[in-house]
C-alpha cells in the first residue's frame, strides 16, 4: 500500500475518532473503546477498503461489546485468550442498526464531501442507534443470553458453552440472575 493511501486512511480514522469522542469513545492500543463498567467495554471497529485509483476510502463501523467474565470463561474452556481488538463478545454492524440505505459503508472521497462531515454522519448513527444498542446489551445477563444463541466455540459444543455461561451468570452476579 502506498504511503499516500496509508496517510489518507489515517486521516479518515482520525476524523471519525474526533467525531465520536464526545460520545465517550477513546482510541487506545486495543481499539476505539468506552468503558461501560469494570467488566464491560464498548468498542467500535472501523474496517476499511482503500481504493487509491478512485482516491476513496470506504469505512464500515462495527459495534462490539467486550465482556471480561465471558471472555475469561471462554479462555478457560478453550485454553486460548483473545485481546479486545481481536474480536468482541458481541458484534453488530452499525449500518444495519441505522437502516442505512445503499452500501454498507461510508465513503471518504478526496475532494468530495469533507471528511469531518462524513465522520459526523457516522457519529450521529452511533449516537442515534449505537448507544441504545450498547445499553440494551450492557449487562452480563444480556450478554450471556446473546452469546448462548451463537454457535459453540471451536472444540467445545454449544451445550457445554451454554451450561458454562449459565454457571458464570449464577456465580458472578446474583442480582443480574434474578432480573426479568
Determine the average pLDDT of the residues in 16-37: 92
- For residue 44 the three cell numbers come to 467500535
Given CA atoms 145, 151, 152, 157 in this order, what sign does their dihedral have?
positive
Tabulate helix, strand, coil % of the chain (nearest 5).
50, 20, 30
State mean pLDDT over 161-174. 76
**What is this structure's pTM?**
0.82
109-146 confidence digits (pLDDT tens)? 888 888 889 899 999 999 999 999 999 998 888 888 88
> Is residue 156 a contact partner of residue 124, using CB atoms and an 8 Å limit?
no
Phi and psi at residue 109, to the nearest 5° = -110, 125
Distance CA 101, CA 63 (A): 18
Q: Tens digit of pLDDT for each residue in 39-71?
A: 899 999 999 888 888 888 899 899 999 988 888
Residue with cell 457445554: 160
Amino acid at each position: 500500500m502506498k504511503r499516500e493511501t496509508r496517510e489518507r486512511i489515517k486521516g479518515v480514522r482520525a476524523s471519525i475518532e474526533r467525531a465520536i469522542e464526545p460520545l465517550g469513545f477513546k482510541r487506545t492500543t486495543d481499539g476505539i473503546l468506552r468503558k461501560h463498567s469494570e467488566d464491560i467495554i464498548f468498542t467500535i471497529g472501523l474496517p476499511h477498503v482503500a481504493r487509491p485509483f478512485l482516491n476513496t476510502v470506504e469505512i464500515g463501523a462495527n459495534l462490539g461489546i467486550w465482556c471480561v467474565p465471558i471472555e475469561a470463561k471462554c479462555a478457560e474452556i478453550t485454553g486460548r485468550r483473545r485481546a479486545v481488538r481481536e474480536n468482541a463478545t458481541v458484534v453488530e454492524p452499525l449500518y444495519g442498526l441505522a437502516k442505512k440505505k445503499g452500501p454498507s459503508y461510508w465513503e471518504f472521497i478526496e475532494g468530495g464531501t469533507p471528511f469531518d462531515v462524513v465522520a459526523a454522519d457516522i457519529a450521529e448513527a452511533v449516537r442515534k442507534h449505537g448507544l441504545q444498542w450498547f445499553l440494551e446489551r450492557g449487562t452480563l445477563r444480556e450478554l450471556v443470553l446473546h452469546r448462548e444463541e451463537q454457535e459453540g466455540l471451536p472444540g467445545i459444543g454449544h451445550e457445554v458453552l451454554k451450561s458454562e455461561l449459565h454457571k458464570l451468570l449464577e456465580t458472578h452476579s446474583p442480582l443480574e440472575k434474578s432480573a426479568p
